Amino acid sequence: MAASLLHSQTNDPFGFPPLNSSNYTAWKTGMETVLRETDLWYLMERTNQKSNNKSNTWRKHNKWAKELMEEHVEDSFMDCFHDLTEKKNAKQMWDALANHDFPDETLNKAKTWRKTSKPKDTMINEIKSVPLETGSEALKKAKTLHETCKALDKMTDELNSAPQYSVKTLANNMASDEGAVEKLTSILEFEPLSGRLIFNSENTLIGKALLLLDSLLKKVTPENIIRFLKLGEQLCKLYLESAVESSNTQSQLCGGILLTLCQIGSPLISVLKEGDLKSYLALCFSLINSVEYFDLKKAGMEGFHKFLQYCVSPSKTKSVFTRLSYHNQRKFTDNCVGIIQNASNMPVNVVTNCIALLNGLVQESTEFLYQLKQRTNLGYLLNLLTNGVNYSRKCVRDVLETLRSFGDAFVTSYVRENRNSIDATMVIKNYHDWQHYQDFFGDLLNWFYSTVMVLLNDMVVAAQNFAEEHPFLTAGTAFAVGIFGVVPVAFALTLGAIAAKQESDKRK
């Protein structure tokens, strides 16, 4: 919530003057409006605060309300403000200010505080002797929203004004500062407010953080971009929300950052640690399944394909898969199934690696096998065997091993119920080709014969008998009876192949 508060470059970013010794009534009215618009006013209306003290939401909202009030106090009145509100929650602070006698006591006290015993020259020398604070240091120290905004602006200005020869070094130093990165990450991980108080997205806390992140990612080396991969899912949420709210600046910033993260993270997949791979996959799935913008969706798909190409180690893949949330595990499975389903339109190496990865996972993870059985159609895998000539023997073996992992009863039941939709002739032909590599396939061919081939062979025998009973049958009429529903299409295809062979034999 705090992330969506307006912070402009003007002296009065809230639209009313900061609190001093003589304007409490005006300040109270303005602050009440802000608290209401940010859904924090309920804190001031509740009389019993104790029942809420154990709630994380209450603690968070109480902290934001206190920061809002403290942030809009004049420097000259700050000491008095602290005396009145120290060690109080937001409601108690509000009541303490309401009960204070502003016209008399505070004015006199403020005048006393403005006095200083130090000569002007001494103060100037003290100021000059203090080393300049970098934006990263200011961000780590920042406690209020105002201080945080100023620090973000400072870091962005430092990057934009740095000489060309040193800007990459500066950017990498910022990205290597764990404290600053953690603070920047925490800002972007706040739940957005659906556009509340976003009059100009560049002047919101999130807007400033996005500007800084965009500048950083354009200048740091790829190794440092890895630090920001875990922000992918949250940035995708911000992108979707800003698109709904028609916040073009924020939408463009988020979109550009997401594209950079996905494209630069892709070549690093082979060296990413498992936790970073998990974050990268979550980003890819968010782009594939949630975003309509073609370039982002395409980048997400290409990133997942890269993962399939580089991460075929079963143990590593299992470790990454188990780290994913259940939601993303389902997306992982769905995207793998989607590749198999559209195998004819996919690069052969992507399909081959996808099958290898699936086979490795089903052998290593019972959870993945369960999800795959629930979410896939065995027909997709059998189609790969139908077109087995297009894929390597290893790919065929991976398909057979994956099929066997589903269990004999599961596979037999599917083939028996769906054999009329399987091109039995091609499967049988390919099976005879695979028999030349018995040593490579081992007992998989025996399993496949007893579980699948016997059932498919029954259909082939039936087609042969049908052809013998109709000696004048041609391939064309065989296909026609399938098209017009006289017999199942797969049966007609088998029949057509037999008829075509008969025609060929007659010509000889």
What pLDDT score does 47 carry? 63
pLDDT, mean of residues 202-227: 81
Read off the pTM.
Answer: 0.58
Based on the number of CB atoms within 10 Å of its own CB, is 508 exposed (0-12), middle (13-18) or buried (19 or more)? Answer: exposed
Q: Which token pair is 285? A: 């799935």
Three-class secondary structure of residue 6 per DSSP: strand
Q: Is the pLDDT of residue 460 over 70?
A: no
At which of 111, 137, 161 does a domain end?
A: 111
Would residue 134 count as lying in a domain?
no
- Residue for token pair 């957005």: 192
For residue range 251-275, list pLDDT tens digits in order.
787 888 888 888 877 777 777 888 8
Backbone dihedral angles phi then psi of residue 184, each to the nearest 5 degrees: -65, -40
Contact indicator for 289, 331 with CB cutoff of 8 Å: yes
In sequence order, the 6+-apart residues with CB closer than 8 A to the CB of 54 are none
- Looking at residue 132, the DSSP 8-state letter turns out to be P
Would residue 69 count as lying in a domain?
yes
Torsion, Cα of 471, 477, 479, 485 (10° steps): -100
Backbone dihedral angles phi then psi of residue 486, each to the nearest 5 degrees: -65, -40
At which of 63, 80, 111 does a domain end?
A: 111
Using alpha carbons only, give the angle 125, 130, 136 rounded to the nearest 5 degrees. Answer: 155
Would residue 39 count as lying in a domain?
yes
Query: In angstroms, rounded to a whole number, what is the distance separating the alpha carbons of residues 494 and 508?
Result: 22
What pLDDT score does 319 carry? 81
Query: In angstroms, rounded to a whole number, what is the distance separating the alpha carbons of residues 367 and 27?
Result: 58
What pLDDT score does 313 carry? 67
Would residue 390 count as lying in a domain?
no
For residue range 160-176, list pLDDT tens digits in order.
888 887 888 888 888 88
What pLDDT score does 143 carry? 82
Would residue 103 count as lying in a domain?
yes
- Residue for token pair 């990413």: 272
Would residue 284 count as lying in a domain?
no
For residue range 396-445, list pLDDT tens digits in order.
888 899 889 888 888 888 888 886 677 777 887 888 888 888 889 889 98
Number of domains composing the chain: 2
For residue range 340-397, list pLDDT tens digits in order.
888 888 888 888 888 888 888 887 778 788 878 887 778 888 888 877 656 788 888 8
Torsion, Cα of 241, 246, 247, 252 (10° steps): 80
- Looking at residue 12, the DSSP 8-state letter turns out to be -
| Selection from 108-112, 131-135, 190-194, 499-503 with the highest mean pLDDT | 131-135
Query: In angstroms, rounded to a whole number, what is the distance separating the alpha carbons of residues 314 and 333?
Result: 15
Backbone dihedral angles phi then psi of residue 467, each to the nearest 5 degrees: -65, -40
What pLDDT score does 42 carry? 85
Three-class secondary structure of residue 19 per DSSP: strand
Would residue 387 count as lying in a domain?
no
Taking Cα atoms as reference points, which of 268, 156, 274 lies closest to residue 219?
156
Q: Which token pair is 118? A: 């130090």
Contact indicator for 246, 288 with CB cutoff of 8 Å: no
The residue range of the domain holding 506 is 412-508
Would residue 474 count as lying in a domain?
yes
For the chain, give the number of residues.
508
Q: Which token pair is 337? A: 């199934």
Largest CA distance in the chain: 119
At which of 64, 81, 111 does a domain end?
A: 111
In sequence order, the 6+-apart residues with CB closer than 8 A to the CB of 339 are 308, 346, 350, 351, 354
